[in-house]
Protein backbone atom coordinates (compact mmCIF):
# COMPACT_ATOMS: atom_id res chain seq x y z
CA UNK A 1 0.00 0.00 0.00
CA UNK A 2 1.33 3.41 -0.93
CA UNK A 3 0.47 5.94 1.78
CA UNK A 4 -1.20 9.17 0.74
CA UNK A 5 1.38 11.70 1.80
CA UNK A 6 2.15 15.05 0.25
CA UNK A 7 5.21 15.42 -1.95
CA UNK A 8 6.16 18.52 0.01
CA UNK A 9 7.50 17.60 3.48
CA UNK A 10 4.85 17.16 6.14
CA UNK A 11 5.08 18.05 9.80
CA UNK A 12 3.78 15.60 12.39
CA UNK A 13 3.51 15.44 16.16
CA UNK A 14 2.62 12.89 18.83
CA UNK A 15 -0.28 13.53 21.21
CA UNK A 16 0.06 11.09 24.11
CA UNK A 17 -2.32 12.68 26.62
CA UNK A 18 -5.54 11.69 24.92
CA UNK A 19 -7.60 13.28 27.70
CA UNK A 20 -6.75 16.66 26.16
CA UNK A 21 -9.07 16.07 23.22
CA UNK A 22 -12.06 16.08 25.61
CA UNK A 23 -11.90 19.83 26.29
CA UNK A 24 -8.90 21.24 24.39
CA UNK A 25 -9.56 20.34 20.76
CA UNK A 26 -9.68 23.98 19.64
CA UNK A 27 -6.36 24.89 21.28
CA UNK A 28 -4.64 21.73 19.99
CA UNK A 29 -5.75 22.40 16.43
CA UNK A 30 -4.93 26.10 16.71
CA UNK A 31 -1.38 25.18 17.74
CA UNK A 32 -1.18 22.63 14.94
CA UNK A 33 -2.20 25.27 12.41
CA UNK A 34 0.35 27.75 13.76
CA UNK A 35 3.14 25.17 13.36
CA UNK A 36 1.98 23.83 9.97
CA UNK A 37 1.24 20.40 11.40
CA UNK A 38 -0.48 18.11 8.89
CA UNK A 39 -0.39 14.82 10.82
CA UNK A 40 -1.13 13.95 14.46
CA UNK A 41 -0.28 10.60 16.04
CA UNK A 42 -3.03 10.40 18.68
CA UNK A 43 -2.75 7.81 21.43
CA UNK A 44 -5.86 5.70 21.71
CA UNK A 45 -7.48 5.34 25.12
CA UNK A 46 -10.32 2.84 25.30
CA UNK A 47 -11.70 4.64 28.38
CA UNK A 48 -12.79 7.59 26.23
CA UNK A 49 -16.10 7.45 24.40
CA UNK A 50 -15.86 7.02 20.64
CA UNK A 51 -17.72 10.30 20.10
CA UNK A 52 -14.78 12.20 21.66
CA UNK A 53 -12.48 10.81 18.95
CA UNK A 54 -15.12 11.40 16.29
CA UNK A 55 -15.40 15.07 17.22
CA UNK A 56 -11.63 15.60 17.33
CA UNK A 57 -10.87 13.79 14.07
CA UNK A 58 -13.72 15.53 12.24
CA UNK A 59 -12.43 18.92 13.43
CA UNK A 60 -8.88 18.01 12.40
CA UNK A 61 -10.09 16.73 9.03
CA UNK A 62 -11.87 20.02 8.39
CA UNK A 63 -8.52 21.75 8.97
CA UNK A 64 -6.64 19.45 6.58
CA UNK A 65 -4.95 17.49 9.38
CA UNK A 66 -4.89 13.69 9.35
CA UNK A 67 -4.98 11.72 12.60
CA UNK A 68 -3.40 8.30 13.07
CA UNK A 69 -4.15 5.94 15.97
CA UNK A 70 -1.07 5.78 18.21
CA UNK A 71 -0.23 3.23 20.86
CA UNK A 72 2.56 0.94 21.96
CA UNK A 73 4.48 -0.73 24.77
CA UNK A 74 7.84 -2.52 24.91
CA UNK A 75 6.10 -5.73 26.00
CA UNK A 76 4.15 -5.87 22.73
CA UNK A 77 7.24 -7.43 21.16
CA UNK A 78 6.84 -10.52 23.33
CA UNK A 79 4.78 -13.37 21.92
CA UNK A 80 3.38 -13.92 25.42
CA UNK A 81 1.95 -10.37 25.43
CA UNK A 82 0.64 -10.24 21.88
CA UNK A 83 -2.91 -10.17 23.24
CA UNK A 84 -2.27 -6.63 24.55
CA UNK A 85 -1.39 -5.43 21.07
CA UNK A 86 -4.35 -7.31 19.63
CA UNK A 87 -6.73 -5.62 22.09
CA UNK A 88 -5.66 -2.22 20.77
CA UNK A 89 -5.96 -3.35 17.15
CA UNK A 90 -9.44 -4.72 17.91
CA UNK A 91 -10.46 -1.40 19.50
CA UNK A 92 -9.26 0.51 16.43
CA UNK A 93 -11.15 -1.88 14.14
CA UNK A 94 -14.37 -1.44 16.12
CA UNK A 95 -13.93 2.33 16.16
CA UNK A 96 -13.35 2.53 12.41
CA UNK A 97 -16.45 0.47 11.72
CA UNK A 98 -18.60 2.92 13.69
CA UNK A 99 -17.13 6.18 12.39
CA UNK A 100 -18.10 8.23 9.35
CA UNK A 101 -15.52 9.01 6.66
CA UNK A 102 -14.31 12.28 8.21
CA UNK A 103 -14.16 10.73 11.70
CA UNK A 104 -11.95 7.74 10.89
CA UNK A 105 -8.29 7.38 11.78
CA UNK A 106 -6.14 7.76 8.66
CA UNK A 107 -3.63 5.13 9.81
CA UNK A 108 -2.18 3.13 12.69
CA UNK A 109 1.10 4.33 14.24
CA UNK A 110 2.93 2.01 16.63
CA UNK A 111 5.73 2.71 19.16
CA UNK A 112 6.94 -0.57 20.67
CA UNK A 113 10.63 -0.03 21.73
CA UNK A 114 11.40 -3.57 23.04
CA UNK A 115 15.03 -2.67 23.67
CA UNK A 116 13.78 -1.24 26.98
CA UNK A 117 12.87 -4.75 28.17
CA UNK A 118 15.18 -6.77 30.44
CA UNK A 119 14.71 -9.65 27.95
CA UNK A 120 16.50 -7.55 25.33
CA UNK A 121 19.75 -8.04 27.26
CA UNK A 122 19.23 -11.73 27.97
CA UNK A 123 17.54 -13.10 24.84
CA UNK A 124 17.67 -10.45 22.12
CA UNK A 125 17.13 -12.82 19.21
CA UNK A 126 13.83 -14.11 20.62
CA UNK A 127 12.66 -10.55 21.30
CA UNK A 128 13.54 -9.49 17.74
CA UNK A 129 11.58 -12.44 16.34
CA UNK A 130 8.60 -11.51 18.52
CA UNK A 131 8.91 -7.86 17.47
CA UNK A 132 8.71 -8.95 13.84
CA UNK A 133 5.57 -10.98 14.60
CA UNK A 134 4.02 -7.89 16.21
CA UNK A 135 4.82 -5.76 13.16
CA UNK A 136 3.11 -8.32 10.94
CA UNK A 137 0.00 -8.20 13.16
CA UNK A 138 -0.13 -4.39 12.99
CA UNK A 139 0.28 -4.28 9.22
CA UNK A 140 -2.35 -6.97 8.68
CA UNK A 141 -4.87 -5.13 10.87
CA UNK A 142 -4.22 -1.76 9.21
CA UNK A 143 -4.42 -3.07 5.69
CA UNK A 144 -7.63 -4.98 6.45
CA UNK A 145 -9.06 -1.54 7.33
CA UNK A 146 -7.56 -0.07 4.12
CA UNK A 147 -5.37 2.37 6.04
CA UNK A 148 -1.55 2.58 6.24
CA UNK A 149 0.57 1.27 9.10
CA UNK A 150 3.59 3.14 10.43
CA UNK A 151 5.92 3.06 13.41
CA UNK A 152 8.64 4.80 15.38
CA UNK A 153 12.09 3.20 15.22
CA UNK A 154 15.42 4.17 16.82
CA UNK A 155 18.08 5.65 14.53
CA UNK A 156 20.45 2.74 15.24
CA UNK A 157 18.12 -0.04 14.11
CA UNK A 158 20.12 -0.56 10.91
CA UNK A 159 22.93 -1.99 13.06
CA UNK A 160 20.78 -5.02 13.94
CA UNK A 161 19.63 -7.91 11.76
CA UNK A 162 16.29 -9.66 11.52
CA UNK A 163 15.87 -12.94 13.39
CA UNK A 164 16.78 -14.91 10.26
CA UNK A 165 19.65 -12.49 9.45
CA UNK A 166 18.24 -11.82 5.96
CA UNK A 167 18.18 -7.99 6.25
CA UNK A 168 18.84 -5.14 8.63
CA UNK A 169 15.97 -4.80 11.08
CA UNK A 170 15.22 -1.25 9.94
CA UNK A 171 15.14 -2.21 6.25
CA UNK A 172 12.81 -5.10 7.07
CA UNK A 173 10.54 -2.74 9.03
CA UNK A 174 10.41 -0.36 6.07
CA UNK A 175 9.38 -3.20 3.79
CA UNK A 176 6.44 -4.00 6.12
CA UNK A 177 5.26 -0.55 7.15
CA UNK A 178 3.93 2.14 4.82
CA UNK A 179 6.12 4.78 6.47
CA UNK A 180 8.65 5.00 9.29
CA UNK A 181 9.49 7.72 11.80
CA UNK A 182 13.13 7.73 12.92
CA UNK A 183 13.67 8.85 16.49
CA UNK A 184 16.70 10.93 15.49
CA UNK A 185 16.82 12.72 18.82
CA UNK A 186 19.61 15.30 18.63
CA UNK A 187 19.53 19.07 19.17
CA UNK A 188 21.26 20.30 16.00
CA UNK A 189 20.61 19.84 12.29
CA UNK A 190 24.02 18.24 11.81
CA UNK A 191 23.48 15.83 14.69
CA UNK A 192 19.99 14.87 13.48
CA UNK A 193 21.17 14.30 9.92
CA UNK A 194 24.18 12.29 11.10
CA UNK A 195 22.03 9.78 12.96
CA UNK A 196 19.20 9.72 10.39
CA UNK A 197 21.34 9.33 7.26
CA UNK A 198 21.64 5.53 7.21
CA UNK A 199 17.91 4.95 7.50
CA UNK A 200 17.01 7.70 5.01
CA UNK A 201 19.29 5.86 2.58
CA UNK A 202 17.53 2.58 3.37
CA UNK A 203 14.20 4.31 2.76
CA UNK A 204 15.51 5.44 -0.64
CA UNK A 205 16.47 1.86 -1.46
CA UNK A 206 13.12 0.26 -0.59
CA UNK A 207 10.86 3.18 -1.54
CA UNK A 208 9.43 3.83 1.93
CA UNK A 209 8.60 7.34 3.21
CA UNK A 210 10.70 8.28 6.24
CA UNK A 211 9.88 10.99 8.79
CA UNK A 212 12.69 12.41 10.91
CA UNK A 213 11.68 12.73 14.56
CA UNK A 214 13.07 15.23 17.08
CA UNK A 215 12.59 15.71 20.84
CA UNK A 216 11.42 18.81 22.76
CA UNK A 217 10.87 17.36 26.23
CA UNK A 218 13.42 17.44 29.06
CA UNK A 219 15.40 14.23 29.30
CA UNK A 220 17.91 12.60 31.63
CA UNK A 221 19.83 11.25 28.61
CA UNK A 222 21.82 14.46 28.10
CA UNK A 223 21.36 17.96 26.69
CA UNK A 224 22.27 16.93 23.14
CA UNK A 225 19.11 14.80 22.87
CA UNK A 226 16.44 17.50 23.12
CA UNK A 227 15.65 21.06 22.02
CA UNK A 228 14.19 21.74 25.46
CA UNK A 229 17.06 24.02 26.49
CA UNK A 230 17.42 25.87 23.18
CA UNK A 231 13.85 27.02 22.64
CA UNK A 232 11.42 27.31 19.74
CA UNK A 233 13.31 29.78 17.52
CA UNK A 234 16.42 27.61 17.47
CA UNK A 235 14.28 24.51 16.92
CA UNK A 236 12.63 26.07 13.88
CA UNK A 237 15.98 27.16 12.47
CA UNK A 238 17.47 23.69 12.80
CA UNK A 239 14.38 21.95 11.42
CA UNK A 240 14.49 24.17 8.35
CA UNK A 241 18.07 23.03 7.79
CA UNK A 242 17.12 19.38 8.28
CA UNK A 243 14.25 19.72 5.82
CA UNK A 244 16.48 21.32 3.20
CA UNK A 245 19.33 18.82 3.53
CA UNK A 246 17.22 15.68 4.04
CA UNK A 247 15.26 16.66 0.94
CA UNK A 248 18.00 15.13 -1.21
CA UNK A 249 16.55 11.77 -0.16
CA UNK A 250 13.52 10.59 -2.11
CA UNK A 251 12.38 8.86 1.08
CA UNK A 252 12.23 12.05 3.18
CA UNK A 253 8.57 12.63 4.06
CA UNK A 254 8.90 15.36 6.69
CA UNK A 255 9.58 16.17 10.34
CA UNK A 256 7.89 14.71 13.42
CA UNK A 257 8.18 16.70 16.66
CA UNK A 258 7.92 14.82 19.96
CA UNK A 259 5.57 15.72 21.38
CA UNK A 260 2.60 18.11 21.47
CA UNK A 261 3.01 18.74 25.21
CA UNK A 262 6.73 19.49 25.03
CA UNK A 263 6.53 21.43 21.77
CA UNK A 264 3.64 23.65 22.84
CA UNK A 265 5.43 24.39 26.13
CA UNK A 266 8.56 25.35 24.18
CA UNK A 267 6.61 27.69 21.90
CA UNK A 268 4.84 29.38 24.79
CA UNK A 269 8.06 30.19 26.69
**Residue in 121, 107, 124, 138 with CA at minimum distance from that of residue 169:** 124
- Phi, psi of 108, deg, nearest 5: -115, 130
Nearby residues of 262 by Cβ (< 8 Å), 6 or more positions away: 215, 216, 217, 218, 226, 228
Q: Is the CA virtual torsion 33, 35, 36, 39 positive or negative?
A: negative
- Report the number of secondary-structure helices (H) and strands (E) in the chain: 10, 8
Asked if 188 and 245 touch (Cβ cutoff 8 Å), the reply is no
**Distance separating alpha carbons of residues 140 and 212, to the nearest angstrom:** 25
Asked if 238 and 192 touch (Cβ cutoff 8 Å), the reply is yes
DSSP string across 192-249:
HHHHHHHHHHHHHHHT--EEEEEE-S--TT-TTSBSTTT-HHHHHHHHHHHHHHHTTS
Tens digit of each residue's pLDDT, the chain (269 residues): 333 344 689 999 999 999 999 999 999 999 999 999 999 999 999 999 999 999 999 999 999 999 999 999 999 999 999 999 999 999 999 999 999 999 999 999 999 999 999 999 999 999 999 999 999 999 999 999 999 999 999 999 999 999 999 999 999 999 999 999 999 999 999 999 999 999 999 999 999 999 999 999 999 998 899 999 999 999 999 999 999 999 999 999 999 999 999 999 999 98
**Residue in 232, 230, 206, 227 with CA at minimum distance from that of residue 215:** 227
Instruction: Summarize pLDDT for 39-50 with one digit per residue, the tens.
Output: 999 999 999 999
Instruction: Summarize pLDDT for 200-227 with one digit per residue, the tens.
Output: 999 999 999 999 999 999 999 988 999 9
Amino acid sequence: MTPAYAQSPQKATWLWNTQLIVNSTASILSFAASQNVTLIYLQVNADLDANVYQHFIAAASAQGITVQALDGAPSWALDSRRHELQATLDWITTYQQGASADEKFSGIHIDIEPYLLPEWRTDQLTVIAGWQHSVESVVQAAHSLHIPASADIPFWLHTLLTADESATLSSWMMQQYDSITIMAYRDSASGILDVAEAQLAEGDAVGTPVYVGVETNPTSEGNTITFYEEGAAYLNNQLARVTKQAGKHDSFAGIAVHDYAGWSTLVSK
